[in-house]
Amino acid sequence: MSLVRNRKALAGMILLAFFVVIAIIGPWIAPYNPSMVGPDSLQAPSLAHRLGTTNTGQDILSQLIVGTQGVMVVGLIAGILATIISVIVGVTSGFLGGLGDEVLSLISNVFLVIPALPLIIIIVGVLPSAGGLTIAVVIALTGWAWGARVLRAQTLSLRKRDFVEAARANGEPMWRILFFEIMPNLTAIIASGFIGTVIFAILSEVTLAFIGVTSISTWNWGTVLFWAQSSQALVQGAWWWFVPAGLCIAAVGTSLTLINFGIDEFVNPRLRNTAANARLLRRKKIRARIGFTPVYRGFISTRKGEDA
């Protein structure tokens, strides 16, 4: 598959695979029990504690390793749920048209405009005990609208294409047109929407844990930052407490955006060609300006000079 040949997408996938593996085997490879209180309080990174300890002597590396699972699982569940909702709403509304389309796109536009994080905070805050699954469901319910909007636009433009008209003229049933003619052409958009939602879900979940809205007894990267903030790690200069957790979040986010860039370049040939052209032009020392017709001034002007 050519997505693998795209360097950005490949780098993203490798980085993501690393975190997925950690999420799966985390509980077994963590050097300590992340909640275990130890005698070494607020130690800088050392051989015994690779990323140092908290003020109660808990091992931070273990907290990060064990916490990976929570982050990944919530991101994945929220991503899958939101993608299902957005495919159902987006494709139906693009395919149906008419009043059904009006109503469905009105609903998704409302969800797009309402700021998601405050909404998630009040829902989770009102719920008496919010575990990982609840959070994932709430995030999915507030984060599906963007994907639905993009899918609707694409379905709308596919619906009038010749191959769909031909299928309809052939008397193919509606479900067959939907699943075998239209859906395969939406794969890239569905995938990129899924990845976008996973990023959104991970950022939201970590933020919720950092504010302390969710349960602080299960470990995830946000919980680590919550304890760092509430134990004055910043003032005490305990950088090892809050820097690695943030880097982990940024690394997962970057890996997912890289994959999405790969998909973007896969779908939009102009972006793909630019990436390929840029390398070629750089080698020939040509500055790309407009479109695919680079202006090579040096060469032309000397030729003109000779002619004159």
Partner 1 sequence: MKFLLRRLGFYVFTGWAAVTLNFFIARLLPGDPVQSLINKYRGLLSTDAINSLRVLFGLNTHTTVWQDYLTYWGNLLHGDLGISFAYFPTPVSAVLAQSLPWTLTLGFVCTILGFALGTLAGVGLGWRRGTWLDLLLPVANFFSAIPYFWLGLIAIALFGVALPLFPTSGGYDGGLIPSFSLEFIGSALYHAALPALTIVLASVAGWILGMRNMMVTVSSEDYVTVAQAKGLPERRVMFGYAARNAVLPSISGFALSLGFIVGGTLVTEIVFSYPGIGYVLFQAVGSKDYSLMQGVFLIVTLAVLVANMAADFAYALLDPRTRQEG
Binding stretches for partner 1 (CB under 8 A): 106, 109-110, 112-119, 121-123, 125-128, 146, 199-200, 203, 206-207, 210-213, 225, 228-229, 234-235, 237, 239, 242-243, 245-246, 249-254, 256-258, 261, 264, 268, 270-271, 274, 277-279, 281-282, 287-293, 295
| Shortest spacing between CB 176 and partner 1, in angstroms | 34
Nearer to partner 1, 99 or 235 (CB): 235
Nearer to partner 1, 66 or 199 (CB): 199
Nearer to partner 1, 17 or 243 (CB): 243
| Shortest spacing between CB 249 and partner 1, in angstroms | 6
| Shortest spacing between CB 243 and partner 1, in angstroms | 7
Nearer to partner 1, 174 or 290 (CB): 290
Q: How far, in Å, CA of 74 to CA of 133, rounded?
A: 7
| Shortest spacing between CB 246 and partner 1, in angstroms | 4
| Shortest spacing between CB 275 and partner 1, in angstroms | 9
| Shortest spacing between CB 141 and partner 1, in angstroms | 11
Query: Closest Cα to residue 59, out of 81, 72, 43?
Result: 43
Nearer to partner 1, 182 or 197 (CB): 197
Q: Are 135 and 124 in contact (CB under 8 A)?
A: yes
What is the per-residue DSSP string for the chain?
A: -HHHHSHHHHHHHHHHHHHHHHHHHHHHH-SS-TT---S--SPPS-SSSTT-B-TT--BHHHHHHHHHHHHHHHHHHHHHHHHHHHHHHHHHHHHH-HHHHHHHHHHHHHHHHS-HHHHHHHHHHHSSS--HHHHHHHHHHHH-HHHHHHHHHHHHHHHTSHHHHHHHHTT--HHHIIIIIIGGGGHHHHHHHHHHHHHHHHHHHHHHHHHT-S-SSS--HHHHHHHHHHTTTTTTT-HHHHHHHHHHHHHHHHHHHHHHHHHHHHH-HHHHHHHHHHHHHHHTT----STT----HHHHHHHHHHH-
Nearer to partner 1, 33 or 134 (CB): 134
| Shortest spacing between CB 109 and partner 1, in angstroms | 7
Nearer to partner 1, 7 or 303 (CB): 7
